[in-house]
Amino acid sequence: MLDPMSRQLEGRAAIVTGAGRGIGRGIALVLGNRGASVAVCDLDEQNAKAVAEEINAAQGKAISGLADVTSKKSIEEFTARAISEFNAIDICVANAGVIGAAGYTERRDYTDADWDITYGVNVRGLVNTAEAIIPHMAERRYGRIINISSHGGRAPAGVSTGRGTVGMPYSVSKAAAIQWTHALAIKLGKFDINVNVVCPGKLWTPMWETISMQIHLQDPDMADLTPREVFDLQIEKDVPLGRPQTPEDIGRAVAFLASDDASEITGQALNVNGGTRMN
């Protein structure tokens, strides 16, 4: 059921990319719970439909569809549909992301394919998503763009840990997402469009399961552990608050940045990581 005490997004409408599972699903559900109409898109159209149905079943309002953020035409078409369905889009959450190319879990070092896919989705995908919505928001002189990066974009990861360099393209792409946010915030401020980025920490999602599988297979000290046990060990070792984050934790941060309470916040990168990295 919708929470009557947390309706700060009542009357707003949002697009969330990569919303079929994991962090994107959590963001979409929280925005719907807070009163926003939500356009849920994903490469997996059935997953997107299931998330929209969850929102609608909880007395919210949502539509769903397929969108490939690496294709300008695809994200532009979905954005136009969302604007038509909801009359306006106030919030754009560019969440779609990948960690590496096929076979990531079996490799110690990155390949050209890892660079290509992380750049295509994690960098160009953010640019394509923003460029699809900016003309609409600029014309209305209102908007909230929230990009999803990672605290892995804050400092090198997977380089000096003894597990090879397979995570380097991902970390570099997430650093680029933060820089893109800073630049876009400066560019769009004159249109009253706020642009911020959320940097999640460690969540037990399909993406972090693949990271744990990679560690499990490549680190002899972890060989006897399951991927979930590897993940739990990382939490115990690295997170001051001693617990993993959840997709809903990220969703609540996004909801705040999308709300009027954050009207004077732009160009900021917010860690939601239990204190793992404090910059």
CATH number of the domain enclosing 181: 3.40.50.720
pLDDT tier, 94 (very low <50, low <70, confident <90, very high otherwise):
very high
Q: Residue 18 — left, alpha, or beta (φ > 0 → left; ψ -120 to 50 → alpha)? A: left
Give mean pLDDT, residues 226-232. 81
Exposed/middle/buried for residue 242 (C-beta within 10 Å: 0-12, 13-18, 19+):
exposed
168 belongs to a structural domain: yes
**133 lies in the same domain as 197:** yes
Are the beta carbons of 75 and 95 closer than 8 angstroms?
no
Answer yes or no: are the C-beta atoms of 147 and 202 closer than 8 Å. Answer: no
Question: Rounded distance, CA 272 to CA 148, Å?
Answer: 11
- Residue among 110, 119, 142, 170 flagged as catalytic: 170
Catalytic annotation present for 104: no
Q: Which domain holds residue 33?
A: 13-201+246-270
- 4-37 per-residue burial string, b: 16 or more CB within 10 A, e: under 16: eeeebbeebbbbbbbbbbbbbbbbbbbbbbbbbb
pLDDT score recorded for residue 113: 96
pLDDT of 135 above 50: yes
Burial class (CB in 10 A: 0-12, 13-18, 19+), 112: exposed
158 lies in the same domain as 23? yes
Distance (Å, whole) CA 265 – CA 202: 25
The answer to the question of residue 226 being in a domain is yes
Contacts of residue 221, defined as CB under 8 A and 6 or more positions apart, other chains included, come to: none
Q: Can you give the pLDDT at residue 231?
A: 80
Stretch 163-181: mean pLDDT: 89
Per-residue pLDDT, 224: 76
Mean pLDDT along residues 218-237 = 79
What distances in angstroms separate CA 82 from CA 19, 58, 136, one per listed residue? 14, 20, 11
Query: Could you tell me if residue 275 is inside a domain?
Result: no
209 found inside a domain = yes
Based on the domain organization, do 223 and 119 belong to the same domain?
A: no
Same domain, 125 and 258: yes
**Residue entry with tokens 């706020």:** 194
pLDDT in tens, 28-61: 999 999 999 999 999 999 999 999 999 999 999 9
Instruction: Note whether 76 and 160 are same-domain residues.
Output: yes
- Integer distance in angstroms from the first to the last C-alpha of the chain? 36
Q: Is 80 exposed, middle or buried (0-12, 13-18, 19+ CB in 10 A)?
A: middle
Total tally of structural domains belonging to the chain: 2
Helices of type H across 141-274: 168-188, 206-218, 227-238, 247-258
pLDDT at position 230: 79
User: pLDDT confidence of 107, banded at 50, 70, 90?
Assistant: confident
**pLDDT surpassing 60 at residue 4:** no
